Structure 1
Amino acid sequence: MELMSSEFHSYSLKSHPDRLLVDHLGRVGRLSRGIVREKALNLGHQEKEILEDVAYLMGVTHDLGKATRFFQEYIQEEDERKKRSMRSKETTRHGLLSAFFTYAIIKEYLNQLIAESELRAGSETGSKTESETGSKAESETGSKAVSSIQLKRDGGMTDYLPVLSFLAVRRHHGNLINAMDEVKEVDSEGERIIRVAEEQIRSMDNDKAELNEILRRLISDDGMHLKNFKIDLESITSYILKGAIRDIGRKEKRLIRRLGDKTDLQLYFVFQFLYSVLLDADKTDAGLGEADPDSDRLELPEDLVDRYRESRGFISNMNGINPLRNQIYEDAMAGVRAWNLEDRVLSLNVPTGTGKTLTSLSFALKLRGRLNEEKGYTPRIIYALPFLSIIDQNYSVFEDVLAHGGYLEDSRLLLKHHHLAEVSYKRADNEEYKSDESLLLLEGWNAEIIVTTFWQYFYTLFSNKNKLIRKFNKLANSIIILDEVQAVPHQYWQLIHDAITVLCEKFNSYVIFVTATEPLIFDEAGGEIKEIVQKKDEYFQGLDRIELILRIDRSLNLDEFKALVGEELIAHPDKDFLIVLNTISSASEVYRSVQGLQLEDTETFYLSTNVVPKERIQRIKDIKDIRDIKDTKDTKDIKRSSGRGAVDSLSRRRKVIVSTQLIEAGVDIDADFVYRDFAPMDSINQVAGRCNRNSGSHKGTVSVFILRDDRREFHKYIYDPFLIGKTLDILKQVSGPIRESEFLDLNNRYFKAVKKGMGDGKSQENLSCLSQLAFKDLSKRFKLIEEDYPRVDVFIEVDDLAEDIWRRYLDMRMEKNLKEKIDKKLRIKKEFSEYVISVPEKFARSLVYEDSEIGYISKAELPYYYDMETGFKREGAGEGSMII
């Protein structure tokens, strides 16, 4: 039922300064129910209908605590000083009282549903049996009708819904704490909570008629499955004061304590789903009003990538590795129509440089089409990558695909989301949303294809943070592509295995692992994961682009390594080199040594997170431009902005790149020779993918060394000794150069050794947090990126634009109006981030600007703190770190 405030002229209670409470509650309820209703869930028909009703009831009760006189006075107060004082009072806060309303009403809903089901079940027992009717079909229909409404208190999901709803509403304006801590607080602080609640409820006396009208209109909504559900305000408030607080503090505590004996993750996923539905609906209504970002889902043709590949000449190009790319693509596409839709965990495990990005996108689009056609729902495609250094690269490919398909720029089709992304959401009709609205839509993943980071994806799954969990509901019914999945820490394999299993089985999602070096998170032999291509072994074994040479019989110091590199660079004046090192300090030292050689016709590049992102991205683009010029021999369309020299001369210049590990996976860079400081096997394999990537006429060479300083080998500063040990064990079994055709077997043996020997302590700790709804503990324990020391973000004023952005940042900090301040911050967010690096606190403590948390280096200070080639100046060898 659509409710308009104009129908009821007596409404006066407000939820926001410009919004009536009845409008907000009704809208959030309807949005919440709509999100659940559109999802195909494997929780049972009855449970799905109950979840729809519970989501609706959470929406229409989540802000009932705002009906107190205290909150109404606060929301209408214009004096900011007085408002701050009022906000600090317990009686003004609405979250806990709203949660009690939600708990009481949902509990009453379930009681009435159970009573009705028992009544109808009793009625069905006295009805005609199969023997009386002589119809087996009629008997089965009757049994189905009974089971669809039968409810029992058996410790299942339904028993937990009242307390889950309480937890969600209690924290809909904050972050989650452990469920047990939440109910214990109600128990231990019961008397104080009752006193505050009594005062708040008494303050509602003058508005009882309006509250009754709100509840009568919203609770009797005709979208409810329990058509005759009714409540009475007096009975609800009486129960809150005389029973609900006691029940939550005692009965629900016992219920939650039982979770300690369970390992089932379904309850965690159901809660996160409901919580995210409420957050999404609430923020959408508060930020966008009547607009519904999901009301106009857009279609995408299944053959978008097919047409793109044809228009770009991929199919007809038989040079280098292109025939293999075409073969892999056709192999993957051939299986889509015959794919068993019950197989929801998939793998695209093919060699580096063979077009995994386009192949996985095309497979996802075709699978999306099948699910729409056969199952009646249209999945979003979520494409997640581990490294920011490659997210722009892959996003640009998707943009190009859509543009070739005739689609104008439209964020509803494609958006990029990570913490440094530009805050801009646009429609093809040239409508661009305001900064705060854009942020709301970006963070809600309101698009058909979302390109994001592992950080965003995994912390949406495993977090207590309100802001991150809001998009959890978008994971349901989605096709999730995890590109370069080998980057997932092995300590979390079991956690990710179990979580993805629940997500796929209960929420009808599909997960595609994309990598050349697939970790054994799922067991292919046991049927847990299905390979998209049929000839995987053949594709790996047929390659002969490179050979891997192990030069690890003894460790080298940097002076020895620099001398060796110098000799090789001079001996091969026309070859491109890539040198990947483990620490920032060793990389900068080797780079300076290369520069000191003053090699002719050579472009040198240094890449590390020590360099501001803007320059780092430009350098990667310059490297690719040189390759493109060499490959095409056509410079007409090459436009370069780095000032490194005339385009027509670049085709005669070779490149020497010195980098940290940020380049090893996914970055589309090609070299003839690759030197790699020792690392785990998957990292060695990945960086090998940067060598002779496009299968040139001469075989490439990847050489692996063990480098050290005066204290230890550099790999000991960076990598888990367990992974290093397993790599050494595998490589000791190999003699002579390793051919590319042997990489798959080598990688499989490595990951089997890792799985066999690894501990699963961290996974088990996190799984225990999930099963016990220990949200805060989970947030402390799950760390996708381990940091052994504190870090500081530093803004570096490397050019005139940075100087202007810093002035705008200071202007934003001085802004008194909160709304204007947020808007100014969002407008400079992307540009600001392009000049920010993260460095160990011990190097940057003195640079922190005034009372902010960010360091600052002005243009005048650059000579002291920042080198325009190698970036932030650090002290001491081995102090660098792998930063992804």
Structure 2
Amino acid sequence: MAEVASESYSFKLKSHPNKRLVDHLQRVGELSRKTIADRSLNIDDADLLEDAAYLIGITHDVGKATGFFQEYIDEKDEAKKKSLKSKDTTHHGLLSAFFTYAVIKEYLRKAGRNGGLADYLPILSFMAVKRHHGNLLNAMDEIKDFDADKEKILKVAEEQINSIDSIGRAEISEILALLLFRGNINLKFDLSNIINYILKDSAKEIGRKEKRFVRRLGEENNIYPYFVSQFLYSTLLDADKTDAGLDGAHLGRLDLSSKLVDEYRDAKGFSSNKNNINDLRNQIYEDAIESITAWNLEDRILSLNVPTGTGKTLAALSLSLKLRERLENERKIKPRIIYALPFLSIIDQNYKVFDEVLANGGKPKDSRLLLKHHHLADVGYKTSENEYDVDKSLLLLEGWNSEIIVTTFWQLFNTLFSNRNKQLRKFNKLINSIIILDEVQAVPHQYWQLIHDSLNLLCEKFNSYVVFITATQPLIFDESEGEIKEVAKRREGYFRGLNRIQLFLRVDNALNLDEFKAMLENDLREKPNKDFLIVFNTIGSAQDVYKFVKELELEETERFFLSTNVIPKMRLERIDKIKEKNAERRRKVIVSTQLIEAGVDIDADIVYRDFAPLDSINQVAGRCNRNSAKDDKGTVSIFILKDDRKEFYKYIYDPFLMSKTLDILKPIKEPIKESEFLDLNNQYFKAVKRGMGDKDSRDNLAYIAGLAFKDLSKNFKLIEEDYPKVNVFVEIDEKAAEIWRRYQDLQSEKNHLERTKKYLNIKKDFSEYMISVPEKFGHSLIVDGSNIGYVSFNELPHYYDMDTGFKREKAGEGSLIF
């Protein structure tokens, strides 16, 4: 994008130390308009949205023209610069928002546009610009500020305007006139009229008219304005950060062949590898691809509901690539594929598979094609031509600048339901995208209605597609009502044809751990050639039983312990080793918490599971005889385990879900066949939907309708924290010691930006040695001046067991000596 040139004027005002204001405003305006224009939208007045995005872009930093800001941007002394930055008169967001509000109002008036989208735009534009360097607040709170602090607000605005000398005012007029002309917007105005409007009428109009408007929105329960607001806000943030941080670079889109997965499966010999389970996987894959080839593109919410271990991941990616090709050819839409999972433990696994698919298709490693994004992901963005530094990499990662994004539910849903600048920047990438929700049963039932309504609108108005993939389909959308369409056209046959396992319910009487150990020891000795997986609800019970198993004299047995109490580096190493086929065929006994359930591709002959909701039971059953490689069936046994106080499941699971599970399972006295799982799951989710409370969804939908962004963000909690936690770094080896030294060194860096940059360089390695523990156990480990705990190599025997992880029984009793 070329710099602005004008024969009649020499522009002097700056937006950044090395950037002219006119250049920044033009680039942000053009990038903003392009983001809207490149999308296919099912909304009235889409052209109006494009013009609004451009107008927001070319006015969002007009407040930087003040003498106060120009003094700040030119100041070289860091102490003086910091002092200037803290002054109200240096801040540019509010004054810029006033300009934007005035320009949008004048544009709508002269264009004769009113009603519908035109009614939303002034206040939505005002809030987007006011908060483009912070987080969104509730619209009503923003407006009420004008009643409470109108005099102070206008006094600061007047000081700022008076600080712009005649040369500065002339330049602003020239900039706006030039950019309006270049943006092909027929709008002319006198700067003095805008200033007069800002100081005399704007606060009154926002404080009265817009207050009535926002109140009416809330009463109408209309969530559409919220999505327009987030789209505009995200568009501005993305354009602003792209120009400021990437110097205007705009990465182009890349092509992906729809046959990538087909070619990968052929290369791996999946079709030729014949046995019952592989035949089923091939059948499911072929059926899904056949379905999507003839899919009605008006049906935007899809389901791939098939049994565990039947190749859902590759089938979902392939059908998404083929859907993408159809949308490009038939609708001129080029969707990104956003693959979201509930757990970090399976993101690396799926990302690795996708990377292999691209490599097999001859694609070079390029972040424009595939990236992984979550809070612990490596901050590195590489293309076939460039490797970006950490600052630019972070901007590109957080902007989801890729064709395939592998991410978490937390990232996805906090982009939909957040007020946070950092999260909302990528909201625009949800528009026209294909969103795959893997293991969607993990979504809390209290948010079903919220997610139903929001995804419906995203698909209906913004031409996105959503694919639910799971073995246990929750009733977020009702298939009987035509709300969701199934890709797996012979779904019932897939489930009913399976015969890999039997499920035994031993839930009539609760067992204490001593009783369970006695039974387990007997089974381990009687079945020396069987791999066991034992899954517990609490870390304490898992540690107790693992220590018991470790002390047993069992021949040719490898023992593994998995829980979040173990640092991630060791967990991943153990999972990889569990999946290995050892030549000597030593049997494996795996003791784990529920992190093993969804998506972790391990296989055992016998599974024991402490009592849990039915969807969790189904998921852990998917780790049993997964590949159907043996003649005899696997067995899954469900127990109710307890301590001296109560059953363990009561410590962690929603009592509502547990009651529905008991209602369904208690009457069953015979072993449950795998072919019966589908019916049981359907019964369970129908019972959940009938009996669930929807207060959380209703509250959040009300916040959305009322543009209460801050309340929404505060109330929407995808992951409920029952107790405060502390992150603890565990120094288990020399590499950890080196990383900790580097972390300590960067604490002395006084420049916040430099310190952040240095941390991002070590973040991935740092996180591999980090665990989260209850505050009551970890508070004494916190290092002075930080919020992170530390266990040194010398203190490992006191606080960390190399098998079972953090020792909770001794932690919290005193301070460590460093």
TM-score normalized with structure 1 length: 0.90
- Partner Cα distance (1:4, 1:858) in 2: 57
What's the counterpart of residue 73 of structure 1?
A: 71
Q: Please give the alpha-carbon distance, in whole angstroms, between the structure 1 residues aligned to 2:534 and 2:641.
A: 12
- Tell me what 1:275 maps to: 233
Between Structure 1 and Structure 2, how many residues are aligned?
Answer: 809
Deviations 1:427-462 (CA, angstroms, capped at 9, x unpaired): 123x20000100000000000000000000000000
Q: What is residue 561 of structure 1 aligned with on the other side?
A: 516
Tell whether the 8 Å contact from 1:423 to 1:435 is kept in structure 2 after alignment: yes
1:494-643 correspondence runs (5 A): 494-626=449-581, 629=582
Task: Quote how far apart the aligned CAs of 1:356 are.
Answer: 0.1
Amino acid at match of 2:91: R
Does the CA contact (< 8 Å) of 2:436 and 2:466 recur in 1? Answer: yes
Q: Which amino acid aligns with 2:353?
A: V
Match of 1:306 among 262, 269, 277: 262
Structure 1 vs Structure 2: percent identity of aligned residues?
66
Say if 1:571 and 1:771 are closer, same or farther in 2 by CA, change over 3 A. same
In the alignment, which residue of structure 2 is the partner of 1:250?
208
Distance 1:213 1:187 in 2: 34
Rounded Cα–Cα distance in structure 2 between residues aligned with 1:231 and 1:27 = 22
For residues 486 and 411 of structure 2, what CA distance do their matches in structure 1 show? Answer: 26
Aligned residue type for 1:419: H
1:471-510 superposed matches below 5 A: 471-510=426-465
Structure 2, unpaired ranges of 5+:
812-818
Aligned amino acid, residue 663 of structure 2: D
2:615 maps to a residue whose letter is: D
Name 2:323's counterpart in structure 1: 367
In 2, the alpha carbon distance for the partners of 1:682 and 1:779 equals: 28
What is the match of residue 117 of structure 1?
none
Q: Which amino acid aligns with 2:154?
A: I
2:129 is the alignment partner of 1:192: no
Q: CA RMSD in A?
A: 1.3
The alpha carbon displacement at 1:598 in A equals 2.7
1:49 corresponds to: 47
Matched residue type, 1:809: Y
The DSSP-based 3-state class of the residue aligned with 1:250 is: helix
Determine the structure 2 residue equivalent to 1:135. none
Distance in structure 2 (CA, Å) of the matches to 1:450 and 1:197? 43
What amino acid does structure 2 have at the position aligned with 1:835? Answer: Y
Residue of structure 2 equivalent to 1:403: 359
CA contact (8 A) 1:5 1:22 kept: no
Cα separation, partners in 2 of 1:165 and 1:739, compared to 1, 3 Å: same
1:599 Cα deviation (Å)?
Answer: 1.3
In the TM superposition, residue 15 of structure 1 has moved relative to its aligned partner by 0.6
**Is 1:291 the counterpart of 2:249 in the alignment?**
yes
- In the TM superposition, 1:97-176 aligns within 5 A as 97-114=95-112, 151-153=113-115, 156-176=116-136
* Distance in structure 2 (CA, Å) of the matches to 1:201 and 1:92: 11
Residue identity opposite 2:620 in structure 1: V
- Quote the Cα distance in structure 1 between the aligned partners of 2:502 and 2:227: 46
Q: What does the per-residue CA deviation read over 1:495-533, in whole Å, with 9 as the maximum and x for residues that have no partner? A: 000000000000000000000000000000000000001
Q: Aligned residue for 2:279?
A: 323
Cα offsets for 1:845-882 (capped at 9, x unmatched): 111111111111111111111111100111399xxxxx
Q: Distance in 2 between matches of 1:564 and 1:6?
A: 85
> Do the aligned partners of 2:399 and 2:426 also contact (CA within 8 Å) in 1?
yes
Contact 1:668 1:690 survives alignment (8 Å) = yes
Verify the 8 A CA contact 2:418 2:424 in the aligned structure 1: yes
Contact 1:346–1:511 (Cα < 8 Å) also in 2: yes
Kindly indicate whether the alpha-carbon contact (under 8 Å) linking 2:231 and 2:427 is maintained by their aligned counterparts in 1. yes
1:205 maps to amino acid = D
Structure 1 Cα separation of the partners of residues 296 and 156 of structure 2: 57
Q: Distance between the aligned counterparts of 2:405 and 2:655, measured in 1?
A: 35
**Cα separation, 2, equivalents of 1:838 and 1:565:** 30
Q: Kindly provide the CA deviation profile for residues 327-380 of structure 1, in whole angstroms up to 9, marking residues without a partner as x.
A: 000001111221000000000000000000000000000000000000011000
Query: Contact (CA 8 Å) 1:183, 1:248: kept in 2 or not?
Result: yes
Partner residue of 2:730? 796
- Counterpart of 1:459 (choices 402, 409, 414) is 414
Name 2:815's counterpart in structure 1: none
Question: C-alpha distance in 2, partners of 1:817/1:775?
Answer: 32
Q: Does 1:677 align with 2:610?
A: yes
Q: Which residue of 2 aligns with 1:353?
A: 309
Candidates 196, 204, 209, aligned match of 2:164: 204
Change (3 A) 1:703 1:211: same
Structure 2 residue 174 is matched with structure 1 residue 213? yes
Contact 2:136–2:419 at 8 Å: present in 1 too? yes
Partners of 1:589 and 1:76 lie apart in 2 by 63
After the TM superposition, which segments of 4 or more aligned residues of structure 1 sit over 3 Å from their partners? 5-9
Contact kept, 8 Å, 2:507 with 2:666, in 1: the verdict is: no
Listed as ranges, the gaps of 5+ residues in structure 1 are: 115-150, 630-647, 878-884
Partner secondary structure for residue 670 of structure 1: coil
Match of 2:816 in 1: none
CA offset digits 1:101-158 (Å, max 9, x no partner): 00000110111110xxxxxxxxxxxxxxxxxxxxxxxxxxxxxxxxxxxx444xx221
Residue 587 of structure 1: how far off its partner (Å): 0.3
Q: Does 1:848 align with 2:782?
A: yes
1:370-389 equivalences in 2 (<5 Å): 370-389=326-345
Match of 1:441 among 396, 399, 411: 396
Specify the alignment match of 2:296 in structure 1.
340
- CA displacement 1:780-823 (0-9 Å, x = unmatched): 11000111111111111111001000111111111123343222
Instruction: Output the amino acid matched with 1:393.
Output: Q
- The amino acid that maps onto 1:72 is Q
Q: Deviations over 1:476-511 (max 9, x none)?
A: 000000000000000000000000000000000000
Deviation, structure 1 residue 7:
5.9
Structure 2 distance, partners of 1:3, 1:252, is 37
SS in 1 for 2:588: strand
Partner of 1:635: none
- For 2:753 and 2:666, the matched residues in 1 are separated by 62
Asked if the contact 1:5/1:23 (under 8 Å) is kept, the reply is no
Structure 1: distance between partners of 2:729 and 2:169: 55
CA distance, structure 1, for counterparts of residue 154 and residue 750 of structure 2:
38
* Contact 1:99/1:170, CA 8 A, preserved across alignment: yes
- Does the 8 A contact of 2:511 with 2:640 survive in 1? yes
Partner residue of 2:814?
A: none
State the SS of the aligned residue for 1:518. coil
Q: Residues of 2 paired with 1:499 and 1:196: CA distance?
A: 39
CA contact (8 A) 2:729 2:771 kept: yes
Indicate conservation of the 8 Å contact 1:5/1:20, yes or no: no
* 1:180 aligned counterpart, secondary structure: helix
Shift of 1:229: 1.5
State the distance in 1 between where 2:125 and 2:462 align. Answer: 19
- Does the CA contact (< 8 Å) of 1:187 and 1:248 recur in 2? no
One-letter amino acid matched to 1:113: A
Matches within 5 A, 1:818-857: 818-857=752-791
For 1:816 and 1:533, locate their aligned partners in 2 and report how far apart those are by CA, in whole Å.
57
Counterparts of 1:771-782 in structure 2, within 5 Å, are: 771-782=705-716
Equivalent residue number for residue 392 of structure 1: 348
CA contact (8 A) 1:220 1:230 kept: no
Specify the code of the residue in structure 2 equivalent to 1:356: K
What is the aligned partner in structure 2 of residue 637 from structure 1? none
| Cα contact 2:218–2:707 (8 A) shared by 1 | no
Secondary structure of the residue that 1:471 maps to in structure 2? helix
**1-side partners of 2:175 and 2:6: how far apart?**
14
Q: Look up the SS of the partner of 1:247 in the other structure.
A: helix
Q: Does the 8 Å contact 2:799/2:810 carry over to 1?
A: no
Paired AA for residue 384 in structure 1? A
Task: Indicate if the aligned counterparts of 1:67 and 1:204 stay in contact, CA closer than 8 A.
Answer: yes
Q: CA deviation at 1:735?
A: 2.1
**Partner amino acid, structure 2, of 1:703:** S
- In structure 1, distance between residues paired with 2:350 and 2:722: 30
Distance 1:656 1:590 in 2: 11
Contact 2:472 2:618 in 1 (8 A): yes
Instruction: Give the TM-score, by structure 2 length.
Output: 0.98
Say whether residues 1:23 and 2:23 are aligned partners: yes
Asked whether the equivalents of residues 108 and 114 of structure 2 are also in contact (C-alpha less than 8 Å), the reply is no
